[in-house]
């Protein structure tokens, strides 16, 4: 990054920071490429950020909120040197375009360093092609910890090789490739009725969120019983919503057959919580909900109080 002659660069640090704090994101983006010195100042002012990134067939959009800016987006067009900055308001958003010649391939890396600061980000992958090489070259600079994508775009890719820092994977549409169940993920979310209890028992993932499940009481009993007998040592939680809205969905005598349990409490009408215990003494809560959404939660140890159902 070459140094550009610019009056701001000669100001004392305190004076420079006061001026930078009064500037908008467009000005921060523009100034951050002037010199390494200016880049460091702007990086320091944009701490405590939250960010998500959307990838589609034409662009990469970085949605960010920092100490300095709220509800803004930096839009990077693939194979172009332009950058658009959007500011969201109640009436839509304002848009400003910046052009930096010869900087196209470096933009995302620069935005990552200055505004994301290499922290974990969520990526929504809506590109129309299977994890194409071009897009991977762009997003490989990111510390991707959460990924949302259509299973059709995965192909034969090994996601953990492509995204080694991945912790949470959400399959937005389509069947779940069985190979994903072997990944050591913190969270796996999917909507696929073909996934079996045996698949979950053989999985290395520690948390599951399953949408539109068709598991029977007998199948859920196998999962609960196997856990109490020592399987799935890494399991922390499972949240399951069911495809059929039936108020008699759960049969307690079948659900806990062969399992010692206590009915801990009825938290609210149509919401109940039970406690079960593993052979090593570790406890788990099983919550059932018979309200608008028919669902079951399973939370182990320190996750017992974190269920979203109770």
- Residue 36 included in any domain: yes
What was the pLDDT predicted at 8?
81
Domain span holding position 16: 7-46
What was the pLDDT predicted at 1?
47
- Residue 123 included in any domain: no
Whether the per-residue pLDDT at 247 is higher than 70: the answer is: no
Q: Which residue has the higher pLDDT, 121 or 161?
A: 121
What was the pLDDT predicted at 58?
79
Whether the per-residue pLDDT at 104 is higher than 70: the answer is: no
Using pLDDT thresholds of 50, 70 and 90, give the confidence band for residue 292.
low
User: Nearest 5°: phi and psi at 187?
Assistant: -140, 135
- Residue 300 included in any domain: yes
Whether the per-residue pLDDT at 160 is higher than 70: the answer is: yes
Using pLDDT thresholds of 50, 70 and 90, give the confidence band for residue 22.
very high
Q: Provide, rounded to the nearest whole percent, the portion of the chain with pLDDT above 70.
A: 85
What was the pLDDT predicted at 128?
63
Q: Which residue has the higher pLDDT, 9 or 289?
A: 289
Q: If you average pLDDT over each of 175-189, 218-232, 289-303, which comes out highest?
A: 218-232
- State the total domains in the chain: 2
- Residue 87 included in any domain: no
Whether the per-residue pLDDT at 252 is higher than 70: the answer is: yes
Whether the per-residue pLDDT at 281 is higher than 50: the answer is: yes
- Residue 148 included in any domain: no
- Residue 216 included in any domain: yes
Using pLDDT thresholds of 50, 70 and 90, give the confidence band for residue 111.
confident
Whether the per-residue pLDDT at 237 is higher than 90: the answer is: yes
What was the pLDDT predicted at 84?
82
Give residue-wise pLDDT tens across range 206-225.
999 999 888 999 999 999 99
Of 106-120, 149-163, 274-288, least confident by mean pLDDT is 149-163
Q: Which residue(s) pair with 263 in the sheet?
A: 274
Residue 215 CA to residue 249 CA, distance in Å, equals 10
- Residue 262 included in any domain: yes
- Residue 287 included in any domain: yes
Of 56-65, 134-143, 225-234, least confident by mean pLDDT is 134-143
Q: If you average pLDDT over each of 79-93, 197-211, 251-265, 281-295, which comes out highest?
A: 197-211
pTM for this prediction: 0.82
Give residue-wise pLDDT tens across range 68-85.
888 888 888 776 767 788
Question: How do beta strands 168-173 and 294-300 pair?
Answer: unpaired
Task: Provide DSSP, the chain.
Answer: ------GGGGS-HHHHHHHHHTS-HHHHHHHTTT-HHHHHHHHHHS-S-EEEEEE-SSEEEEEEE-SS-SSEEEEEETT-SEEEEEEEETTEEEEEEEE-TT-GGGHHHHHIIIIITT--EEEEE--SSSS-HHHHHHHTTS-EEEEEEEGGGTTT--HHHH-TT--EEEEEESPPPGGGGGS--SEEEE--TT--HHHHHT---SEEEEEEE---HHHHHHHHHHHHTT--TT--EEEEEESS--TT---HHHHTTT--EEEEEEEETTEEEEEEE-TTS-EEEEEEEESSSEEEEEEEGGGGGG-S--
Beta-carbon count within 10 A of 191 CB:
20
Q: Which residue has the higher pLDDT, 18 or 301?
A: 18
Using pLDDT thresholds of 50, 70 and 90, give the confidence band for residue 235.
very high
């Amino acid at each position: 990054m070459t140094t550009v002659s610019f009056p701001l660069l000669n100001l004392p640090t305190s004076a420079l920071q006061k001026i930078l704090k009064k500037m908008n994101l467009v000005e921060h983006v523009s100034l951050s490429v002037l010199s390494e010195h200016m880049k460091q100042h702007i990086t320091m002012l944009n701490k405590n950020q939250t960010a998500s990134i959307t990838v589609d067939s034409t662009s990469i959009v970085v949605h960010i909120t920092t100490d300095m800016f709220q509800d803004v987006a930096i839009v990077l067009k693939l194979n172009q040197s332009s950058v658009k900055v959007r500011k969201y308001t109640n009436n839509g958003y304002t848009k400003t375009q910046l052009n930096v010649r010869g900087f196209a391939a470096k933009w995302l890396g620069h935005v990552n360093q200055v505004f994301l600061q290499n922290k974990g980000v969520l990526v929504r992958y809506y590109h129309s092609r299977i994890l194409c090489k071009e897009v991977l070259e762009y997003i490989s600079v990111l510390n991707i910890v959460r990924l949302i994508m259509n299973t059709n775009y995965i192909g034969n890719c090994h996601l953990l090789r492509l995204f080694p820092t991945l912790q949470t994977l959400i399959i937005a549409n389509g069947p779940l490739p069985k190979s994903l169940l072997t990944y050591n993920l913190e969270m796996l979310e999917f909507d696929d009725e073909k996934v079996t209890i045996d698949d979950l028992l053989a999985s290395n993932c520690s948390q599951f969120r399953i949408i539109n499940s068709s598991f029977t009481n007998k199948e859920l009993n196998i999962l609960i019983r196997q856990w109490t007998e020592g399987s799935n040592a890494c399991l922390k939680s499972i949240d399951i919503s069911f495809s059929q809205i039936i108020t008699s969905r759960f049969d307690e005598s079948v659900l806990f057959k062969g399992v010692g349990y206590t009915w801990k409490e009825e938290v609210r009408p149509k919401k109940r919580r039970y406690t079960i215990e593993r052979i090593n003494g570790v406890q788990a809560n099983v919550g059932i909900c018979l309200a608008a959404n028919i669902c079951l939660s399973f939370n182990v140890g320190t996750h017992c109080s974190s269920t979203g159902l109770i």
